[in-house]
Amino acid sequence: MKAKLVGSFKYKNLRYTKNHPLRIPRVSLLLDFLFAMELISEEEVLESREATLEELLLFHEREYIETLIEADRCQCVPDGARERFNIGNYENPVSPAMYRGSSLATGSSIQAAESFLSGVPAFNPAGGMHHAFKNKANGFCFINDPVITLEYLRKKGFERILYIDLDAHHCDGVQEAYYTSPQVFVLSIHQSPEYAFPFKRGFIEEMGEEEGTGYNLNVPLPKGINDSEFLYALQSSLELTLSHFSPQVYLLQLGTDPLTEDPLSKFNLSNVGFLEAFRYVRNTLGEGVYIGGGGYHPVALARGWSLIWCEISGREIPKLINGKARKVLESVDYEEFDDEVDRSYMYNFLTDEPNKGEVRSEVREVLSRVKGLFNAL
């Protein structure tokens, strides 16, 4: 049975404000690129739907959602919304992406879960907005679709769910939602909050509280992580997780910001290293529910998620980018922050050269500390 990519060209008109890091095309660019590369068929695209109010209230407070809806209606900041709900600042600006885009992404994550439960693997690249809190926007995120999808799975009767987050930034909204719960194990591999957002959360010592103690595992890594180090961290932490927790189902967040080209990350992952990480999770756990996440370099994002889609849909990955697809990438209007670096390879080749290397002692030390703390529980 063929896989499904949950997506829509509606996102073209549901964009963040000018100069915002998420202003770039993402889902629509991925679809254009995949069609140009002949790596997807119309039948494999599952048209995205918006989340229902009932679904949004699986996690978020009603007053917060109603304020989001009002802000979307007037495209303004309702009285007190900035102070109470963190809506309307540079980080979380008023825009069509704020409610309509976020609702579409959230409905799509639920669709991915529905498809998975029906026996058809699915990927929602628009998902993974893991920073939003129950009653507050945070870190470019207004609606926490991972938590809502996890709650959807819990309503379906699953009592042991594993959430794995490979985004370069810690999943503080998801962690807070399940910090006292033994039903959802949260595993996050990310840039250390000592130097990266969200700064205040994502440290090793945060292992859960009350009944949730031992069901939260953070792997905060130093700058410059290569393919070998990322896979080492993933393998070590997933093995540790599975020694403590036996999941019935898992949700995998696949933000592309660990890729070396990303302007908001200090990691140096190649897209084949990113793919290798995905393969490791899938080979270890079987099929899961797949959602996107961060990613602020549109060309790197399109290439990285294309590899994930090829893997999910069982396609051989072509090495070269054809002329039609190259024009799609070249048409993207965005600012290249590191314009002194030659990025021409991204327009010619779909796969990067691997960025393997030694696993530094500081990376091994992080995993050693993680294991020590968990084994002491």
DSSP assignment of 72-138: HHHTS--TTHHHHH--SSSSS--STIIIIIHHHHHHHHHHHHHHHHTT--EEETT---TT-BTTB-B
Q: One of 60, 170, 190, 297 is an active-site residue; which one?
A: 170
DSSP state of 43: G
Strands, sheet with 161-165, edge to edge from the N-terminal-most edge strand: 45-47, 4-7, 122-124, 289-291, 249-253, 161-165, 184-191, 216-221
Which DSSP state fits 182?
S
Amino acid at residue number 346: M
With 0-12 CB in 10 A as exposed, 13-18 as middle and 19+ as buried, what is 222? middle
Q: With b meaning 16 or more CB within 10 Å and e meaning fewer, what string describes 150-168? A: bbbbeeeebeebbbbbbbb
Q: What CA–CA distance (Å, rounded) separates 322 from 376?
A: 53
- Angle between helix axes 298-313 and 27-36 (nearest 10 degrees) is 60
The tokens for 357 are: 């290397």
Q: Is 170 a catalytic residue?
A: yes
Instruction: Identify whether the C-beta of residue 230 lies closer than 8 Å to the C-beta of residue 281.
Output: no
| Closest by Cα among 12, 126, 103 to 56 | 103
Q: 3-class secondary structure for 295-316?
A: CCCHHHHHHHHHHHHHHHHCCC
Q: CB under 8 Å to 243, separation ≥6 — which residues?
A: none
Q: Any idea which residues carry the catalytic annotation?
A: 170
